[in-house]
Structure 1
Amino acid sequence: MEKVYLKSLTENQLKEFVKDIGEKPFRATQIFSWLYKGVESFDEMNNLSKSLREKLSSKADIGNIKIYKKFESKIDETIKYLFALEDGNIIESVMMKYKHGVSVCISTQVGCRMGCSFCASTIDGLERNLKSWEIIDQVLKIQKDIGQRVSNIVLMGSGEPLDNFDEVKKFLEIVNEKNGLNIGYRHITLSTCGIVPKIYELSDLKLPINLAISLHAPDDEKRKEIMPIGKSYSINEIIKACKYYIKNTNRRVTFEYSLIKGFNDTKKDVKLLGEKLKGLLCHVNLIPINKVEERNFEKPNMNFVYKFRDELKNKGIAVTIRREMGSDIEGACGQLRRKHL
């Protein structure tokens, strides 16, 4: 019989599991508490009897990813992690410290099949989806390593979260558990390149998480050049889905816009973008592009970035420039794993 990964269960599901193996429901609360204290073996659960620990070992697995390598920024306190999965695959995560607390950017897939041309994660394609416990364990391992509670989660590491919808949905349920990590939905951001049917599915869950759309171009033709998903769903279809999301969750949508020198940073581009987003409850996050060795994109001069921001502001669009974190440790998505491979 295949073992059950306990970190893939909610507390109520764990109670059912404990009941099925002939134990009292209160044991589930004890086990659940141990899991989210970051224990890595049943032997560490010292308020459980030896016979129960042995029974758990025979029927279940805690599920552990391992810190393979970590890189600490000398510029800020950012830490980049390479995690080794049980099957030998490698994923990456980033820990960032802000005044408001600790944020982690975590992966949802090994690799990615979306093919966005400015992203290192997708160069070798998709290896596999992560299980919900592998997503949650990135948070647990980072908390244990730094000795601080994680307060904000961004699903913006390697992979497309909505391409792994079922496991991400499970993760969102588990991470919000009161006796577990207890991270509020408003402190979770999910970033997608725009898989429109899945945006509607996510909207129907009515979870007040923050939705971020990787837009990166003001019109469909340019978007198709750098994002293959643009051939399946137009910007207008994405905006329509965003309106549905806003209606269902009452949450503002963020549009991520990577500025690429000479490609999407002109006056015409900013005019088109302003027209597309006019009247929408949204925010634009401008990202001066990170150089990816395998791609021929350059970061624009920061004066162009500031002008682009100011033009959007003048059109009534809320806009900020993303603060660069961990630039000396290849903090951008996919760079470190790619280098390792």
Structure 2
Amino acid sequence: MNEISLMSAPAPEATIGTLPSLLGATREELGDALAAIGVPEREIRMRTAQVWHWIYFHGIRSFDTMLNVGKGLRTTLAAHYSLERPQVVSEQVSVDGTRKWLIRLPPVDAQDRGAEVECVYIPESDRGTLCISSQVGCTLTCSFCHTGTQKLVRNLSAREIVSQLVVAREKLGDFPGLVPPKDGLLPTEGNRPITNIVFMGMGEPLYNFDNVRKAVSVLSDGEGLSLSRRRITVSTAGVVPQMEALGREAGSMLAVSLHAVRDDLRDKLVPLNKKYPIKTLLEACRTYPGASNARRITFEYVMLKDINDSPAEARELIRLLKGIPAKINLIPFNPWPGAPYDCSDWDRIERFSDIVFNAGYASPVRTPRGRDILAACGQLKSETEKLRARARLLGED
């Protein structure tokens, strides 16, 4: 697919053969839905605020639960809409507490059997990060990424993106009245299991910009899901034309999948580099709206043995990033079946990190999480796709 067709790939808002779900709707969409069932214009703003609070703050599953909304409106809402969630097909829990959910989305047309995406929850002592997907599959074919071996199916709608957080909060007991899992694997500081969102799951978020922007507005609304935009990070492989709009319209934090300091190597690791080379990408970072020492851009750099991990490359990375408020997130390569790379040796990673740190940049080495359930960075690929691939292989034997 070319870029134009990707940017316009459909992201449906309603299911086929069922009542349309209001879960994930923006305030404007919710107001339109209320107007469509006859709520008087003078009441739209008040009713929208009420329903919004019940859906996103309380996480309700039934309109009957909305105690401050009249029975007539509750009945009318239930006759025309639902609060349907995607189906959780499977949940895997790693030995380190990382959780991965395979989520089946409702069908969008008669031919759709229900697309599937994965999202991952990573608990730490002082925070809990949810890694969410923005597309079913991916088209970027980054050579170190398992998701890149799965073809793009379609964009996710804003509602489908938001629903991943709602599903995760339910599973973690992170809505009023729910009970968290009693396995001792949730964060031990603070009182919210999910504090951060990263668009680092399946797909390239900036090839689904409109829906990602809408989703961020819902995720960050202070009267609902209430995540600070400074705790929402959108990661891109370098879709330069959309980066300025992301900062201006979504106001999220930015992460850039860099992974190389030379165009010839990055062309192989991140083929999008052929369209937007390193110099062009870094210029877009220098002008990213809101970037400052308090809102640094994260540069992701996967450590590949004998490929991009030399001291010389660490020094070149420092030179390239001069003048950009940045931190460098060093990611030990997470293996997957058939992967063409190995992870850099640990002493090599530490030396690379020391060079970057001594130049004045934060250079944390990301602790691999969830490797045993293929939930670590670069390992996501829907279980359905994996099973189909295995079936094809068995058929050829």
TM-score under structure 2 length normalisation: 0.79
Q: Residue 89 of structure 2 is aligned with which of 68, 74, 80?
A: 68
Q: Contact 2:24 / 2:161 at 8 angstroms: preserved in 1?
A: no
Q: Residue 234 of structure 1 is aligned with which of 271, 274, 277?
A: 277
Q: How does 1:287-306 map to 2 (within 5 A)?
A: 287-306=331-350
In 1, Cα distance between equivalents of 2:54 and 2:360: 49
In 1, Cα distance between equivalents of 2:246 and 2:144: 26
Q: Contact 1:278 / 1:317 at 8 angstroms: preserved in 2?
A: no
Q: Contact 2:353 / 2:365 at 8 angstroms: preserved in 1?
A: yes
Measured against aligned partners, the alpha-carbon deviations of 1:109-154 in whole angstroms (never above 9, x if no partner) come to: 1100111111111212101111111111111111111113421101
Unaligned runs of 5+ in 1: none
Q: Contact 1:161 / 1:190 at 8 angstroms: preserved in 2?
A: yes
In 1, Cα distance between equivalents of 2:24 and 2:169: 18
Q: How does 1:159-308 map to 2 (within 5 A)?
A: 159-205=203-249, 207=251, 209-246=252-289, 251-308=295-352
Q: Quick check: 1:14 aligned with 2:30?
A: yes
Q: Quick check: 1:83 aligned with 2:75?
A: no
Letter in 1 for 2:166: L
Q: Residue 314 of structure 1 is aligned with which of 358, 361, 372?
A: 358
Q: What SS does the corresponding residue of 1:205 show, helix, strand or coil?
A: helix
Letter in 1 for 2:59: G
Q: What SS does the corresponding residue of 2:364 show, helix, strand or coil?
A: strand
Cα shift at 1:191: 0.5
Q: Residue 31 of structure 1 is aligned with which of 19, 34, 51?
A: 51
In 1, Cα distance between equivalents of 2:135 and 2:166: 17
In 1, Cα distance between equivalents of 2:291 and 2:323: 17
Q: Contact 1:277 / 1:317 at 8 angstroms: preserved in 2?
A: no
In 1, Cα distance between equivalents of 2:153 and 2:33: 31
In 2, Cα distance between equivalents of 1:85 and 1:105: 17
Q: Contact 1:260 / 1:288 at 8 angstroms: preserved in 2?
A: yes
**Residues 1:119 and 1:175: Cα distance change in structure 2 (over 3 Å):** same
Q: Residue 98 of structure 1 is aligned with which of 102, 119, 124?
A: 124
Q: Contact 1:5 / 1:62 at 8 angstroms: preserved in 2?
A: yes
Identity of matched residues, %: 35
In 1, Cα distance between equivalents of 2:323 and 2:47: 52
In 1, Cα distance between equivalents of 2:51 and 2:307: 53
2:380 counterpart residue number: 334
**Residues 1:324 and 1:259: Cα distance change in structure 2 (over 3 Å):** same
2:7 counterpart residue number: none
Letter in 2 for 1:235: I
TM-score under structure 1 length normalisation: 0.92
Letter in 1 for 2:271: P
In 1, Cα distance between equivalents of 2:29 and 2:208: 21
Letter in 1 for 2:380: G
Measured against aligned partners, the alpha-carbon deviations of 1:62-121 in whole angstroms (never above 9, x if no partner) come to: 3411211001112x2211111111122111111111232221011111100111111111
Q: Contact 2:94 / 2:373 at 8 angstroms: preserved in 1?
A: yes
Cα shift at 1:313: 2.0
In 2, Cα distance between equivalents of 1:96 and 1:11: 29
Measured against aligned partners, the alpha-carbon deviations of 1:188-235 in whole angstroms (never above 9, x if no partner) come to: 11110000001122133261x210000011111100011110110011
Q: What SS does the corresponding residue of 1:19 show, helix, strand or coil?
A: helix
Q: Residue 137 of structure 1 is aligned with which of 157, 163, 172?
A: 163
Q: How does 1:103-114 map to 2 (within 5 A)?
A: 103-114=129-140
In 2, Cα distance between equivalents of 1:63 and 1:162: 27
Q: What SS does the corresponding residue of 1:80 show, helix, strand or coil?
A: strand
**Residues 1:185 and 1:73: Cα distance change in structure 2 (over 3 Å):** same
1:151 counterpart residue number: 195
Q: Contact 1:107 / 1:135 at 8 angstroms: preserved in 2?
A: yes
In 2, Cα distance between equivalents of 1:54 and 1:340: 42
Letter in 1 for 2:328: V
Moved more, 96-105 or 81-90: 96-105
Q: What SS does the corresponding residue of 1:34 show, helix, strand or coil?
A: helix
Q: How does 1:120-131 map to 2 (within 5 A)?
A: 120-131=146-157
**Residues 1:316 and 1:251: Cα distance change in structure 2 (over 3 Å):** same
In 1, Cα distance between equivalents of 2:199 and 2:123: 16
**Residues 1:251 and 1:163: Cα distance change in structure 2 (over 3 Å):** same
Cα shift at 1:267: 2.5
